Chain A
Amino acid sequence: MGAVLIALLLPFAGAILLNLFSAPRSARAGWVASLFAGASFLAVASAALGGIEQPPTLYLPWAPALDLSLSLLADGLSLLFALVISAVGVVVFTFAAAYLEPHEQRRRFFCYLLLFMGAMLGVVFSSNLLALFVFWELTSISSFLLIGFWHHKERSRYGALKALVITATGGLAMLLGFIMIGLVCGTFEIPELLGRGDLLAASPWALPAVLLVIAGAITKSAQFPFHLWLPTAMEAPTPVSAYLHAATMVKAGLYLVARLGPIMSPLPLWTPLLTVIGIATMVWCSYLALRQSDLKGLLAFSTVSQLGLIMSMLAAARPEAAAAGLFHLLNHAAFKGALFLLVGVIEHEAHTRDVCELGPLRKQMPKTHLLLALGALSMAGMPPLGGFISKEMFLEQALHLGPLLAMLSVAGAVLTAAYCFALAFGVGRGRKTEGASATATSGAEAPHDPHFSLLWGPGLLITVALLFGLFPQSLAGALVAGAVEAAVPGSSLHLHLSLWHGFSPTLAASAVALGSGYILYSRWWQTRTPDNPLLVTDRIYDFKLEKLESWSKAVTVSYMSGLVWRYNTIILCVGVAAISAVFLCFPVPQLQAWPARSPLVFEVAVALTAIAAVIGTCIAKTRLAAILSLGASGYTLALMFALLGAPDLALTQIMVETISVALFLAVFVFLPSWRPPETRPLRPGHLALSITAGCGACYLVALARGHRTATSIAEFFIENSAKLAGWHNIVNVILVDFRGLDTLGEISVLGIAALACYAAIKMAPQRS
């Protein structure tokens, strides 16, 4: 297990060290990064060679309260993926070291790439669902940084954001699914979950969990209808496309399906839904690939389609199908990684990757073209390349899927073969001779085969693809068998990979696919014009994004105006609406009868004065008048208290009012002169709102008055003031005895306020 931990930590360590000790454009950054990647590969390889006998998990607690832990697991499935990740990683790292221009920010590039590699290894080695999610999101983030690496290009920023939005959303959906699984089964550890699948099956959360996990898998693996992000992600530098979008990251979804298959496949919808999505993606995207003129676009759609093929195999959760899927995954990593790198080479040399603009490749770049053709033929399933064997295995399994899906699978194989032939033979044959050859017009020298440093990587991968065809059993047999054992536990599959299966319906299907594919290529593809159709899903994505932005803007403009009066209006409206709603929902209690006493004349007079004073405050033309009116309203209130038999309250009110008016007057001297705006139209709406709110508040007071349930505190004082304090004047007793400390506090406050008044008055003349 130590080797696995080392393999996982090395890329992260490399990223940190590189960041600390390297110059931004250092030419050596690439080679140092390659060293780390290589060391990581060796660690994985040694773990794989060491067998899987030792206890397969390592457990580091993270947040035990949440059942969150960083635990590692290295069974056959993890090791197969890890080998692909690290092996292709080494090739891509060395390729990129030679490929990037000297002026590029290489340190940043290789940091991100190492970060990505570590995250990817984390995904496949995690034994805890949550840790898996953590690394999963880390791959999304690092892929965002890598796609946007050439950030001066608008398209590449767009592509980076799109990839992130779709994969991170899917990731969060997956997290929700994980949480559901964890809550139902009581653990997030994958090995423990294996025994608790029936708990999940019995729970009502089974279906949402399946759908959410599928959402995570198909967004990451760019399956229909989320295939839209992969083509735009092709704005990334080519090594990134080769690594992330062909060999590794997009396979995380496949890994998830294979890993959770034992738990999820007995649940409804898992197998059928994933199979249908996989086959549909395979057919539809291989058709779209045929319509591309951009070589990278073609490869992007072909990747999506091939991933669909593997997805449909892994979803079945049968050992034979899983073997087909996993072996094809190995083949795909080899030939697709190579094809991407070769397209990068072509772009590097010819400064274009448009099928219609490229010159005669076979003459200009013979070695590159040979490798390209070999890779494409492996993808088409041409013997004796590795792709042939896995395509055979796929077709054999597809024939079990029922007539419709079987036919679709064969159709997909035909389309695949067609675009592969186009890639192998159609590129750069000067088919569109009048099309301006970029190389000729730019006056640069004709493109030629690049230096060996750019060719050996793809060459190696193609060789592997070839060897997979010639010696499948000895090279990949044990690896695939081990992975199948983990993906379909308890299976007893005697896997024997071999080039020649004898005559069978599968062989016939294969031959038909290749033949029709060639006809399709020669009769149709060579004569049509590629049109790079815009995806409907793309339009939906753009439309949604635009809508989101404009909606956000509309809300900001209308709602967040920054005007206090508007804010107050909104709050008051909400308040009035809420209170009305409460009145509608609950039984309204009776108002208690008012005391049967007609108001005295001066009570009415005082009340009217108070109202007049308040109105005066609102309409005052100068600040002084406003302050004085406000003071007047306070004094009338004090008068009211006195009339209603609360002299202590009246006294307090008068003191407070006096001090506040004095303070206002003293302080407002410092303010610049103010006059109300010339036109202040009275808005009827506001007036109505104010009156409603005010009357509502009054009504509430009246309502609450009648619903007092506790006994009045007055009783206590009447009973106890003579007994405890020896005095019959209750008000006095309260002030100096029962609440003596309160009184002390009030006196201090008033004293301090008076001091402040004095200070303010003293300072006032200095300014005027």
Chain B
Amino acid sequence: MTLPIANIEVLYPLMFACAWGLLVLTVEMFSLSRRFVGIGWLSALGLAAVAGISLSGQGAGEVFAGAVALDAFSVYFYVLLSVLAIFAVFLSMDYVPLAGIIHGEFYPLILFAVAGLLVMVSATDLIVMFLGLETMSMAVYVLAGIRKDELRSNEAALKYFLLGAFASALLLYGIALIYAITGSTVLGSVANAIASTDYLAADSLVLMLGVGMLLAGFAFKIAAVPFHLWTPDVYEGAPTTVSAFMATAVKAGAFAALLRIVLVALAPVMPDLSWLMWVLAASTMTMGNFVALRQTNVKRMLAYSSIAHTGYLLVGVTAATAEAGAAVLYYLAAYGVMNIGAFGVLAALTRRRHALQEISDFAGLGQNRPVLALVMSICMLSLMGMPPLAGFVGKFYLFTAALEAGYTVLVVIAVLNSVVSAAYYLGVLRAMYFQSADAEEYSPRPYLNFAVTAAAAVTVALGLAPSPVMGAASRAFSSIILGP
């Protein structure tokens, strides 16, 4: 008997990720030590293999009647997500024992979350996308609350779950309404259905409501105003490496899905909705940056900064041109590594079961731990958009594309926001170099140090030699708009 599934190799990376997650879970179950570092290595190895498999399977086509596709876009995100997850795993290999997380399911959950993300970014069908989103969310809800004895961690998980369930309901409702109008959930067919008949005139209300709910659901996942409310509390309460994973990989996955929806399925209605994206982008970055100004907790500050960056990324989604799309893809990579570095430094400052998170905790870091301080400086300056780092090139790419598409005012707002953001990023630098404190004794943290240094190095490299990633991003993006 043969399975009636053509192009099953499209699913290999996905299937591999799920299977590897189960394998890691099983191995962990039988490992003698609860702090067995090999589990981390095993997870990283699996993630690297996912990236490798997806690269080798590029261009395999679609499966399940166009529900999942392994196009250049999927492959770009498969690789990006795997890399970000590997970073998160390496950060965790030192952080997990430090934070007193003794639960074996930590690494498997990361793998399952990655599997959900992979489904999400390669789905070309709204329902499948939703499945991926939920799979990922379930794993991340648990990860956020994995420090069971920590009240803040509990709170983070519960909040994320309650508000996330809300968003999922909205999303599903939106999909249902869109299905009611277009008779399909496959992205390409939805676009054709919207474009071929004059839906805008006849049933615009129901369609618009559906689109609005869909966007609201995604606005929650990417933490856009006004659905960003959970972000600071959850990032603060969750274990630091989980926050790092959420801020980078989860956001990248959600943006990938959003791009597919907005620029493929909803392409025919987008010209009428660009004002909505415009407002979303402008309010998100402004809110994120202005609230971040007053934060004294670095983790919360980074959460608001991630909200602000959602706003910058939305500038690219608003512009909706080929360059803008490619710029969003590049920016997600740049944003990912610099944020991993920043959260990683926070994780590296963890004392036994006690995370140092206040800006004042960074005092004197420049003298006491020069390498960590340098990494943090690179990440902060890059987040700020300082040349020649990755953040600058990304912002430049984004804003140029938006300017070319004619969104001058939005770009001006974004530039002003970058100015405001400088104030709080520099606050960390000021504490590290302009204030002094006594040196602390730290246990050796080889994996953490390696991971943050690597993240900083990638941030610099992406800034100095952006061409390869930029090329991949633009190929990836053109693969979805030229496709069916």
Contacts and interface: CB of A to CB of B under 8 A. Distances in A.
Contacts of A703: 205-206
B422 A168 contact: yes
Contacts of A61: 467
A24 B416 CA distance: 37
Contacts of A64: 467
A79 interface: no
Nearest to A700: B209
Contact of A564 (B163, B208, B227): B163
Nearest to A136: B387
Nearest to B226: A574
Interface string B375-396: 0000001000011100011001
Interface in B217-249: 226-227, 229-230, 232-233
Contacts of B422: 164-165, 168
25 contacts: A24-B367, A65-B474, A68-B393, A164-B422, A165-B423, A168-B422, A169-B416, A173-B415, A175-B415, A176-B399, A176-B411, A179-B400, A183-B400, A183-B403, A549-B293, A555-B290, A555-B291, A568-B163, A571-B166, A575-B216, A582-B212, A704-B180, A708-B180, A709-B182, A709-B183
Given A179-B403, A548-B290, A582-B208, A704 B163 contact: no
Contacts of B467: 61, 63-65
A596 interface: no
Interface string B182-207: 11100000000000000000011110
Contact of B387 (A138, A183, A587, A709): A138
Given A157-B430, A157-B434, A567 B229 contact: yes
B460 to A, nearest CB: 13
Contacts of B159: 564, 567
A63 B466 contact: yes
A552 B393 contact: no
Interface residues of A, number: 67
Q: Is the interface of A mostly helix, strand, loop or mixed?
A: helix
B369 to A, nearest CB: 14
B206 A568 contact: no
Contact of A172 (B216, B232, B415): B415
Interface in B409-440: 411-412, 415-416, 418-420, 422-423, 426, 430, 433-435
Interface in A111-148: 130, 133-134, 137-138, 141, 144-145, 148
Interface of A: 24, 61-66, 68, 108, 130, 133-134, 137-138, 141, 144-145, 148, 151, 157, 161, 164-165, 168-169, 172-173, 175-176, 179-180, 182-183, 208, 548-549, 551-553, 555-556, 559-560, 562, 564, 567-568, 570-571, 574-575, 578-579, 582-583, 586-589, 697, 700, 703-704, 707-710
Nearest to A578: B212
A707 B415 contact: no
**Among A183, A551, A710: residue with most chain B CB under 10 A:** A710
A429 B382 CA distance: 52
Contacts of A551: 290
Nearest to B292: A552
B162 A169 contact: no
Contacts of A582: 205, 208-209, 212
Interface of B: 158-159, 162-163, 166, 170, 173, 176-177, 180-184, 203-206, 208-209, 212, 216, 226-227, 229-230, 232-233, 287, 290-291, 293-295, 367, 381, 386-388, 392-393, 396-397, 399-400, 403-404, 408, 411-412, 415-416, 418-420, 422-423, 426, 430, 433-435, 464-467, 470-471, 474
B387 A137 contact: yes
A700 B426 CA distance: 49
A583 B181 CA distance: 17
Nearest to B385: A172
B294 A549 contact: yes
Nearest to A545: B423
Contacts of B399: 176, 179
Contacts of A148: 430, 434
A564 B162 contact: yes
**Lowest 5 A-B CB distances belong to which pairs?**
A710-B183, A151-B434, A134-B387, A567-B229, A586-B205
Given A551-B290, A560-B229, A707-B206, 8 more contacts: A66-B393, A66-B400, A161-B423, A179-B399, A179-B400, A582-B208, A589-B206, A707-B180
Contacts of A179: 396, 399-400, 403
B163 A571 contact: yes
B459 to A, nearest CB: 15
Contacts of A562: 233
A548 B293 contact: yes
Contact of B181 (A65, A579, A707): A707
A710 B230 CA distance: 38
A661 to B, nearest CB: 18
B415 A560 contact: no
Contact of A586 (B182, B204, B435): B204
A579 B212 contact: yes
Contacts of A172: 415, 418-419
B387 A570 contact: no
Contacts of B471: 65
B440 to A, nearest CB: 19
Contact of B229 (A137, A553, A570): A570
A165 B226 CA distance: 29
Contact of B232 (A134, A175, A560): A560
A63 B387 contact: no
Contacts of B400: 66, 179, 182-183
Most buried by A among B173, B293, B367: B293
A582 B233 CA distance: 31
A63 B209 contact: no
Contacts of A173: 415
